[in-house]
Structure 1
Amino acid sequence: MDFRLKVFYTVANRLSFTKAATELFITQPAISKHIQELEEQYKIKLFERNGSKISLTIAGEALLKHTKSIFEIYREIDFEMGALINEQHGMLRLGASTTISQYIIPPILARFHQKALDIKVNLLNGNTEQIENALLKKEIEIGIVEGQSKNTSIKYTPFLKDELVLVCNTKNCLANKNKINAEDLKAMSFVMREQGSGTLEVIEYALKPFNINLSQLNIEMQLGSTESIKSYLMNSNCVAFISVHAIEKELKNNELTILDVENLVIERFFYIITLHGKVNALSELFIKNISGNHNLKL
């Protein structure tokens, strides 16, 4: 029964019998057989089949919700039973928004792994909106995100202070300009993050005191990651607001430069996010571990 539920859970998340078979290392006919047996047991269809596409029925949605809860309990049992014999093992599902997953989280995960060798971490990467949605759907236990707005169903704990700075390549004529004021921004060409990005949200919030809306800026391109924005800057006369954590190498190599905008300081926190209520033991271990490194008040 447990394996059947695992098969169902994988198919429901992938919405593909083929992808589920590949992930679970079994044949597609075996996948179909397990799903058929579940449908026979509950006497109801779990998936709607439309040619090669499938979708969850109402019954499938209900079973998925319970299956997630069951697997969460199993993960907690495994961790707590191991802790009783001084063995820390289990699977932690972590989500991080793009800037954090690229520049902040890798060394943190490396240090955590050194202390907890038998704990596996599955890292989901996406923008802030996607990570918050994954947490609400219980696809991850912990997220680390950027952003200004707050979802009332989520607990936000400040994790690390960050600053967004205006950047261009060193060959850009703006690089030699001594003073830039907020009004000058309207004459520049920008490359920005996509909608749903926490970075975009923070920029919009910071420009409000100057009565500047994003719609007033000349946004030449919107891209889905900081790396693609940096690469675009190297090959254009655009500017971009980027986290200082993301440009250390480019500043050192004299490829990008920071433009000082008068009276504009864009600071923000990265946040650890969890659902309200008691976190499981494994998540608590991870949070305590990283909060010790960053003096968090949880």
Structure 2
Amino acid sequence: MLDIKILTFLKVAQFKNYTRAAAELNLTQPAVSQHIKKLEEYYDCSLIKIDGKSVELTEQGKLLYNYANFQKANEEQLIYQMKKVATPIKIGATLSIADYYLPNYLSAYLNHHDGLISVTVRNTETIIEMLLNNELYCAFIEGIFDKSLFHYREFCNTRFIPVARKGHPLEGKEVSLSETHKYPLILREKGSGTREIFKNYLYENNDSILSYSKIYEFSSFGTLKSVLKNTDAISFMYEEVARQEVERGELCYLSIRDYSITRPLYFVYPSNSLMKEKIEAFYRNLIY
């Protein structure tokens, strides 16, 4: 960034007039004179000669003018090149969405749009914190969040269903929620959206996770599903998360009497975001 005194000198040299230079720079004429004086003191030479109303550069002034003009052109080129460099869109996504919903959207988007995308995968609680700390521009989340703090859109609705291994004792039966209590329950870690959804469902039905014989926690769906395949444990997850394993005959959906949960998945960004237009454009191009 060029020093204001150099910019002042360039304007005086361009217009050969202190008054016009002052107006162009939104400075007072004494301020322009002071800038030129400071430069002459710094370089220990006269840069401008004034003869009546005529303003001309000295030989030293011409040297400085050529050098400063070169630096100004370099800076303008640098600014131009920096603007051409794409700034990554920093996105957050929960594990369920990142692994089982977002890839199809991103693949289609990247096939038709240039630009960089950085995706951070965390649980809902952590993603919310990162959004509020300006570490992410926007995010795809699930579960419960303070809607007063965000602009949000429902980009998908999906069933949240009980899952167990193929051949589980409850497969093919319609059972009550209490009949599932004797089996181990596998949950995601604290702070995950899926865990909060299930806990809220139990609370609304005067139940809790403490009713289950054992509780296991995993942060990875891969590990969670591997354990499901080899034990009599049950879990609750979005339909898409278990779809491939169900189609391969490794897992099955269970039927619980009077149980029905369909949940929206959300695209969110802070309500005070300064990048609203860019984020909204990204969302439109991604989803539609």
Shorter-chain TM-score range: 0.5 to 0.7
> Take 2:281 and 2:268, find their aligned partners in 1: how far apart are those partners?
15
Answer whether contact 2:140 2:266 (CA < 8 A) is retained. Answer: yes
What is the match of residue 51 of structure 2? none
Show the counterpart of 2:87.
90
User: Matches of 1:98 and 1:219 in 2, distance apart?
Assistant: 24
How much has 1:121 moved relative to structure 2?
A: 0.6
Provide the residue aligned with 1:244 in structure 2: 239
For residues 278 and 209 of structure 1, what CA distance do their matches in structure 2 show?
Answer: 35
Counterparts of 1:162 and 1:279 in 2: how far apart (Å)?
Answer: 31
CA RMSD of aligned residues (A): 2.4
1:142 has 2:135 as partner: no
1:162 paired residue number: 158
Q: TM-score, normalised by structure 1?
A: 0.65
Distance 1:279 1:231, change over 3 A: farther
After TM superposition, give the deviation of residue 89 of structure 1 in Å: 4.0
Deviation at 1:211, TM superposition (A): 1.0
Task: Give the superposition deviation at 1:208.
Answer: 2.7
Query: Where in structure 2 are the equivalents of 1:1-298 lying within 5 Å?
Result: 89-117=86-114, 119-150=115-146, 152-176=148-172, 178-277=173-272, 280=275, 281-292=277-288
Give me the whole-angstrom Cα distance separating, in 2, the residues matched to 1:289 and 1:98: 22
- Compared with structure 1, are the counterparts of its residues 219 and 267 closer, same or farther at alpha carbon in structure 2 (3 Å cutoff)? farther
Shift of 1:164: 1.1
What 5-or-longer segments of structure 2 have no aligned partner?
Answer: 2-78
Query: Shift of the alpha carbon at 1:278?
Result: 5.1
Alpha-carbon distance in structure 2 between the residues aligned to 1:219 and 1:197: 19
Larger Rg: 2
Distance of 2:274 and 2:108 partners within structure 1: 21
Q: How many residues align?
A: 210
TM-score by length of 2: 0.67
Q: Deviations over 1:160-204 (max 9, x none)?
A: 10111111111322224x221122122221111110000011111
Q: 2: CA distance between counterparts of 1:150 and 1:265?
A: 24
After superposition, the C-alpha distances for 1:71-100 in whole angstroms (9 at most, x for unaligned) are xxxxxx99xx66xxxxx9431000000100
SS in 2 for 1:188: coil
Question: Partner of 2:148: helix, strand, or coil?
Answer: coil
User: Structure 1 pair 279/181, CA: closer, same or farther in 2 (3 Å)?
Assistant: farther
Unaligned runs of 5+ in 1: 2-76, 83-87, 293-298
What's the CA shift string for 1:22-50, capped at 9, x where partnerless? xxxxxxxxxxxxxxxxxxxxxxxxxxxxx
Q: 1:290 to 1:219 in 2, by over 3 A?
A: farther
Distance, in Å, in 2 between the alignment partners of 1:133 and 1:110 is 27
